[in-house]
Amino acid sequence: MRTPIIAGNWKMHKTLPEAIEACRRLEEMVEDAKAEVVVCAPFTALSALKALGLNKIKLGAQNMHFAREGAFTGEVSPLMLRDVGMDYVIIGHSERREIFGETDEMVNSKTLAALDHGIDPIVCVGESLDQRKAGETEPLVKGQIQTAFDGIGAAEAVKVVVAYEPIWAIGTGETATAEQAQEVNAMIRATLAEIYDHETAEAIRIQYGGSVKPANITELMDKEDIDGALVGGASLKPEDFAAIVKY
Ligand code: PGA
């Protein structure tokens, strides 16, 4: 059985006092939730949030470099994230790919580096609206998965969380239907079964992300291959995020 995982991606939001307040309130509201709960906060808040000693909420970063250290001005390394006790790191979010030029190969390097440092990667994949309209969703997402998992053995692969996030559904209020999300998530699992085997593919958690809110989470989570959600906008308000966590 896969444990559902609901992760909040705060993106570039929240000052330190706001971050601390949000996590304290969230912790109270989700204490008894069955799903695993993750908050991916900005770098500047991570060590302070870790110091809160939260029980239920696990913490993650939103990006990292793949090198352990080096002359990479402005970057943060896997070693540094391990240092501040991160459980997770989001890799290859579509905003990183589109705005900051991250390639599938970089996503693969970062995924390998996270696993090497004992941090579980949440690897994002997904198509643009043009790509969907052109019927390219399946080959594109399949290719993203194949490259992301390149060189990762089955024992490590099961620690990876995949987030299917159609770009056209992110921050737009337009959610993929539960059927559309299920279709792609099932295809991702079939791809993982091709790369590894049935058992490994069944053990890997695959989230959906893109305008997830309290009103649509239940329908999404009812689907066989949707094991959780990566939540942007609706994760900023503890009440909304708690409602999603307790779908
Ligand atoms: P959204 O963002 O929930 O605001 O659509 C999701 C994401 O970017 O991970």
Closest CA to 195 of 125, 123, 143: 143
pLDDT of residue 172: 86
Determine whether the shortest distance from the Cβ of 233 to ligand 1 is under 6 A: yes
Cite the active site residues.
Answer: 93, 165
136 φ, ψ to 5°? -95, 0
Q: What would the pLDDT profile of 12-21 be if each residue is shown by its tens digit? A: 999 999 999 9
* Per-residue DSSP letter, 8: E
- The structure tokens listed for 163 are 């987030």
Domains (range + CATH), the chain: 5-245 (3.20.20.70)
pLDDT above 90: residue 171:
no
Radius of gyration of the chain (CA): 17
Return the residue whose CA atom lies nearest to atom 6 of ligand 1: 232
pLDDT at 168: 95
pLDDT tens digits, one per residue of 57-95: 999 999 999 999 999 999 999 999 999 999 999 999 999
Q: Where are the beta strands (DSSP E) in the chain?
A: 5-9, 36-40, 57-61, 88-91, 120-125, 161-164, 205-209, 228-231
pLDDT in the model for residue 175: 83
pLDDT at 243 over 90: yes
Residue in 38, 98, 170 to alter for ligand 1 test, most ligand atoms within 8 A of Cβ: 170
Say if ligand 1 is within 6 A of residue 22 CB.
no
230 lines ligand 1 (CB under 6 A): yes
Note the pLDDT of residue 3: 98
Calculate the alpha carbon distances from 243 to 49, 157, 160, 218 in Å.
21, 30, 25, 10
Ligand 1 close to Cβ of residue 124 (< 6 A): no
pLDDT 10s digits, 117-146: 999 999 999 999 999 999 999 999 999 999
User: Which residues are CB-contacts of 156 (< 8 A; sequence separation ≥ 6)?
Assistant: 115
Q: Return the bridge partners of 231, or none.
A: 8
Q: How far is CA 46 from CA 136, 203, 218, 220, in A?
A: 37, 29, 30, 29
- Report helix, strand or coil for 15: coil
Q: Give the confidence band of 231 by pLDDT, cuts at 50, 70, 90.
A: very high
Residue 87 is predicted with a pLDDT of 98
Residue 190 — pLDDT band, cuts 50, 70, 90?
very high
Mutate to test the pocket of ligand 1, among 10, 165, 208 (most ligand atoms within 8 A of CB): 165
